[in-house]
A and B are shown apart, each in its own frame.
Chain A
Amino acid sequence: AQTVTQSQPEMSVQEAETVTLSCTYDTSESDYYLFWYKQPPSRQMILVIRQEAYKQQNATENRFSVNFQKAAKSFSLKISDSQLGDAAMYFCAYRSAGPHSGSARQLTFGSGTQLTVLP
């Protein structure tokens, strides 16, 4: 079974600064997706960024980028020019991409990192 580990329960960053959230995962598969989700106090999970394992190029979405190290099974999220609205719980998640059915396609989440943005 796949596992996702987020070793930083809490992080803080000054507004306009850069912060990196860490995530490691364990899998025996070669074809999969990795995601970062944001969950503000409203509780609604919002997709921030996704990475396909077969792509060597790191994904970017505006101020959000990832550092995907497949051999090391590491998937960190970098937030540049942090804004007050970035404050939230961030979850790293894994999903198999192979020709499977049922539970192999489910999202497996880490335990989350609570990000505080200081004005």
Chain B
Amino acid sequence: EAGVAQSPRYKIIEKRQSVAFWCNPISGHATLYWYQQILGQGPKLLIQFQNNGVVDDSQLPKDRFSAERLKGVDSTLKIQPAKLEDSAVYLCASSLARRNEQFFGPGTRLTVL
């Protein structure tokens, strides 16, 4: 079974630029999560989807971050405009349902200069 796919693996941008990350969850997984992991910290949930609906986005900085999950499969996370403090690894995870184990992708390392 294929795992959670993410791209790109690395991205370097200037502050105030825009960036987008892509995630393809495990086939059949209804729940999809985006986490932000700042260096030296544990991952922090940004947004959680159940199929194509948002379950929880309470920790998403909505003035600059947006996410969508069209057709309940792939998802994109966008930052516009980026700030220096957005430098982090962005992890995508998926699970069959909210009560099930989460499987993580390899993450995207974002550096904002």
Q: Which A residues lie at the B interface, using CB under 8 A?
A: 4, 42-47, 50, 91, 93, 97, 101-103, 105-107, 109-112
Are A107 and B45 in contact, with the CB atoms below 8 A?
yes
Instruction: Given A44-B105, A47-B101, answer yes or no on A112-B56 (Cβ-Cβ < 8 Å).
Output: no
Q: Which residue of A lies closest to B43 (CB)?
A: A109
Given contact pairs A45-B91, A106-B56, A93 touches B42 in the complex (Cβ within 8 A): yes
User: Once the chains are docked, how many angstroms separate the CA of A45 from the CA of B33?
Assistant: 13
Q: How far is the CA of A91 from the CA of B40 in the complex (A)?
A: 11
Contacts of A42 in B (CB 8 A): 106
CA distance A47 to B100 in the complex (A): 12
Measured in the bound complex, the distance between the Cα atoms of B44 and A45 in whole Å is: 13
Cα distance A71–B47 when bound, in Å? 32
Q: Which residues of B contact A (CB under 8 A)?
A: 33, 40-45, 48, 55-56, 58, 89, 91, 93, 98-99, 101-102, 104-107, 109
Given contacts A105-B99, A106-B45, A106-B48, list 14 more A-B pairs with CB under 8 A. Answer: A43-B106, A43-B109, A44-B104, A44-B106, A45-B93, A91-B42, A101-B55, A102-B55, A105-B48, A109-B42, A109-B43, A110-B42, A111-B41, A111-B42
Assuming A43-B89, A43-B107, A44-B107, is B56 touching A109 (CB within 8 A)? no
State whether B102 touches A107 (Cβ < 8 A): yes
How distant is the Cα of A104 from the Cα of B70 in the complex, in angstroms? 24
Residues of B contacting A47 in the complex (Cβ-Cβ under 8 angstroms): 101-102
Q: Can you spell out 6 A-B residue pairs with CB atoms less than 8 angstroms apart? A: A44-B106, A44-B107, A106-B45, A110-B42, A111-B42, A112-B40
- Taken together as a complex, chains A and B put the C-alpha atoms of A4 and B44 apart, in Å, by 12
Which residues of B have CB within 8 Å of A103?
A: 45, 48, 56, 58
A-chain residues with CB within 8 Å of residue B48 when the two chains form the complex: 102-103, 105-106
Whole-angstrom distance between the Cβ of B12 and the nearest chain A Cβ: 16
Residue of A nearest to B89 (CB): A43
Q: What distance in Å separates the Cβ of A60 from its nearest Cβ neighbour in chain B? A: 17
A112 touches B42 (CB 8 A): yes
Q: Beyond A45-B91, A105-B98, is A112–B55 a contact (Cβ under 8 Å)?
A: no
